Amino acid sequence: MRKPFPLRRSSISRGLWPSLFFWLLSFSNSHALWKEGKDCPSSSCGPGVNITHPFRLKQYPQDCGRPEPEFELTCENNNTQALIHLPPRRYYVQEISYKDKKIRLLDPALASSSSLPLYNSSPSLLNYSVSGWDFRTQRLVFVNCSQPAKATAPCNHSSLGTHVYATLGNSIFVSQLHTSCRVVMNLPIILDGIGNLTSCSGIHDVLMRGFYVRWYNADHFSVRGFLWSCFTAMWNCLVSYYLLPRTIIGILFFLVFLIAKFRTRHIWMDTTVEEFLASYRFQTPRRYSYLSIKKMTKNFKEEIGQGGYGKVFKGKLSGGGLVAIKMLKTSKGNGQEFINEVATIGRIHHVNVVRLIGFCSEGLKRALIYEFMANGSLEKYVFMHEKINNLCWNKMYQIALGIARGIEYLHRGCDIRILHFDIKPHNILLDEKFTPKVSDFGLAKFYPTEQSIVAMTAARGTMGYIAPELLYKTLGGISHKSDVYSFGMLLLEMTGRRKNIDAFAEHSSQIYFPLWVYDQLHKGEELVMADIANNDKETAKKMMIVALWCIQLIPTERPSMSKVIEMLEGSIEDLHMPPKPLLSSTQTLDGDHSHN
C-alpha cells in the first residue's frame, strides 16, 4: 500500500512561537492585574476552616474564587460546619491547607453514626472524574464473606450470619478473594499513623479522621476554568489600552496556527482514505455524493439512532428501497474506522451480517449506507421496560443462534478471518422478521485464516463485553476467542433480560448475574425468571450453560463459535457444566473505573 505523501511544515508555524509566547506573556500580565484588583474578604466556617481563593462561600460572587461549583462551600449547623459538593456526594470540610493545595474531607454518613455503615453506603464514595481534583488516596476495601476467611480486621455481624473484613489497598483482584466473599465497598482513608484495624470500632476511628484530596491550579486542568480566565483576562486587556495591540496580534497568530494544523491533519486523513477508496473502486458497495445523501434523507429529516460514532438517519434510494444512513463524526485519526467498515462489510455476504449498500466520502463528510433494519437494535428487546418489546423465548433463542452463525462466518467463512471486537446488544440489528444482523465494524481487525493470534497495541471494545486477555496479556493471546467471550456476555443478558452487572439488584447475590446463574445451576435449583413458561425453561438453561462456557477466563478453555452453534442446536443432555466463571479481570472491584 502506498504511503501518504509527505507534508511540508508550514512557514507560518515555524514563525509562530515567538508571537505565541508574546501573547501568553500579555495574557499573564493582564490576568495578574485582574486578580490583584479584586477585593474579596476571607471568611471562616467552623474551627480551623479559613475560606479564601480558590474556594468561596455560596453567597459570595463567583469572582471571589474559582467559578466551578466544586469550589463552592456552604455553612451549616449555625455556621459551624463547612460542606463541599463533589458529585455525587457532599462532604464535611475538616481542614484546608492552601500551602499544600489539599483539603481533608469526612463522609457525613460516618460522622452521624458510631458504627460502620456497611449496608447503606455506595461501593465507592468518590467520583474520580470530577475535573480539577486529584483523588489518589489510600483506601480500605471491605469484603463480606459467608464463611470465615483470612483477612485484616474481622467485623462479625452475627445477626446477619456474615463476616466482614477490611484490607488496605486501592483495589482487590479476583485472585485475592475467597470464593465465599464479595466486595461490599471501599472507603478512602489517611494512611499516616493508621492505628488500630483489629475491630469495627478501630476501623471506625480511622475512618473518622477523614481523607485528603488535592486540587489543581485552574490553568492546569479545567477547560471551563481556563476559558473563564481567558475571558476575564482579555476583558481587562481591552480596558488596559497599552495591552490591546499585542493581545490582538497574538490571538490572530494563534488562530492562524490552529487553522494550519487543522488543515494539515485533515489533508493527511483525506489522503489515506482516498488512497484506500481508489484501490477499492471495483468492489460492490457504491460511492454516493454528499448531495445524494441529503436527498435520500430529505435533508436529514428522520433520525433513528445515535452513538459515539455519530447519528443514523432513515433514507430512501431512488429505486424506493429504505436504507439506514450513518453519518460519521469527524475522526481524530486517519479515517481508519471508516476504512474498516467499508473494507470489512463490503466483502461480506451473509444473512446474519448487515449489508453495506454504499458509502460517501466527500471532504470531511463521511457516511455509510446500510440496509434498513425495521426493528432496530436488540438492545431495546433485551433490556425491556415495556411488555410491547417482550420477545418470546423461542424467538430469543433463534436470534441468539443467528448471531452465533454471523460471528462464526466472520471467523471462518471468508477468505480472511475477521474479529469484530465489539459484540453487544446495541450492535445487533433486527430486520422486519427479527432476523439478527451483526453490525458496526469500526473496531474490527482482519488477518489471514492461518494466523491464530493477533498482535494489538491497545484494548478495544465496550466495558462489560471486553475479553479479559485484551487487557491482561498473561491470560493468553488475543484471537477469535475474544469474540466468543463477548458473545457469552451478550447471551447471558439475553436470557436474564438484564445487565450482567447491576448494583441495584434485589439481592446482593444477583449483582453479578453470571455468578448467580452458575450457583443456581450448580445447586440444581430452578431458575426464577420473569415471563418464562415451563416448556421454555430447558431452552433458557441450555443458553445459560453455553454462555458460561463462552465466558471462561482463559481463552483456550472457551469453545469456538462452530462449537457454540453445535451446543445451541444440540440436546441439553449432551451439555455438562463448565468450571465456575471468575469475575471478569477487565474490572477491578473498586467500582470506580470505566473503559471506553
Q: How far is CA 174 from CA 179, 185, 254, 553, 584, in A?
A: 9, 15, 51, 11, 8
For residue 412 the three cell numbers come to 471462518
pLDDT at 226: 56
pLDDT at 396: 94
Q: Buried b / exposed e across 346-369, counting CB within 10 Å, b at 16+?
A: bbbebebbbbbbbbbbeeeebbbb
pLDDT at 285: 78
Residue 234 clears pLDDT 50, i.e. is over it: yes
**Does residue 519 carry a catalytic annotation?**
no
pLDDT at 526: 79
pLDDT at 549: 97
* 563 — pLDDT class (breaks 50, 70, 90): very high
Q: Could you say which DSSP state residue 578 is in?
A: P
Residue 466 clears pLDDT 90, i.e. is over it: yes
- Residue 326, annotated as binding a ligand: yes
- Report d(CA 82, CA 32) in Å as an integer: 29
- The least confident of 325-334, 402-411, 421-430 is 325-334
**Top-ranked range on mean pLDDT: pick from 25-29, 181-185, 243-247, 487-491:** 487-491
In the chain, which residues fall in CATH 1.10.510.10? 375-596
Contact 425, 383 (CB under 8 A): yes
* 325 — pLDDT class (breaks 50, 70, 90): very high
* 332 — pLDDT class (breaks 50, 70, 90): low
* 170 — pLDDT class (breaks 50, 70, 90): low
Q: How far is CA 256 from CA 12, 250, 262, in A?
A: 8, 10, 10
pLDDT at 518: 92
Q: How far apart are the first and last CA of the chain?
A: 30
Contact 531, 390 (CB under 8 A): yes
* 15 — pLDDT class (breaks 50, 70, 90): very low
Residue 102 clears pLDDT 80, i.e. is over it: yes
pLDDT at 251: 85
pLDDT at 307: 73
pLDDT at 237: 55
- Multiple choice CATH, 375-596, 1.10.510.10, 1.10.260.40, 3.40.190.10, 1.10.287.1080: 1.10.510.10
Q: Among all chains, which residue has been given the C-alpha cell 478453555? A: 557
Strands (E), 201-264: 211-215
Q: Which residue has the higher pLDDT, 381 or 124?
A: 381
* 333 — pLDDT class (breaks 50, 70, 90): low
Please give the average per-residue pLDDT across 214-219, as a whole number.
74
- The least confident of 38-42, 295-299, 351-355 is 38-42
Q: How far is CA 451 from CA 348, 388, 416, 466, 477, in A?
A: 20, 45, 10, 21, 12
State percent of the chain over pLDDT 90. Answer: 26
The residue annotated as part of the active site, out of 107, 422, 440, 592, is 422
What residues pair up with 311 in beta bridges, in sequence order? 306, 327
Contacts of 3 (CB under 8 A, 6+ apart): none
Please give the average per-residue pLDDT across 200-214, as a whole number.
83
Please give the average per-residue pLDDT across 570-584, as a whole number.
86
Residue 587 clears pLDDT 90, i.e. is over it: no
Residue 203 clears pLDDT 50, i.e. is over it: yes
Collapse the DSSP code of 348 into the 3-class scheme (helix H, G, I; strand E, B; otherwise coil) and give the result: coil
Mean pLDDT across the chain: 77
- Report d(CA 123, CA 131) in Å as an integer: 21
Contacts of 255 (CB under 8 A, 6+ apart): none
Residue 316 clears pLDDT 90, i.e. is over it: yes
For residue 395 the three cell numbers come to 424467538
pLDDT, tens only, 500-557 = 887 777 777 778 889 999 998 988 887 777 678 888 889 999 999 999 999 999 999 9
pLDDT at 455: 80
Contact 377, 429 (CB under 8 A): yes
Contact 427, 490 (CB under 8 A): no
pLDDT at 56: 87
- Report d(CA 519, CA 119) in Å as an integer: 23
Q: Is 50 exposed, middle or buried (0-12, 13-18, 19+ CB in 10 A)?
A: middle
* 19 — pLDDT class (breaks 50, 70, 90): very low
User: Would you give the distance in Å from CA 518 to the centre of its chain?
Assistant: 27
What residues pair up with 166 in beta bridges, in sequence order? 142
Contacts of 328 (CB under 8 A, 6+ apart): 309, 310, 337, 338, 366, 367, 368
Q: Which residue has the higher pLDDT, 196 or 119?
A: 196
pLDDT at 596: 39
Contacts of 144 (CB under 8 A, 6+ apart): 118, 162, 163, 164, 181, 182, 183, 184, 508
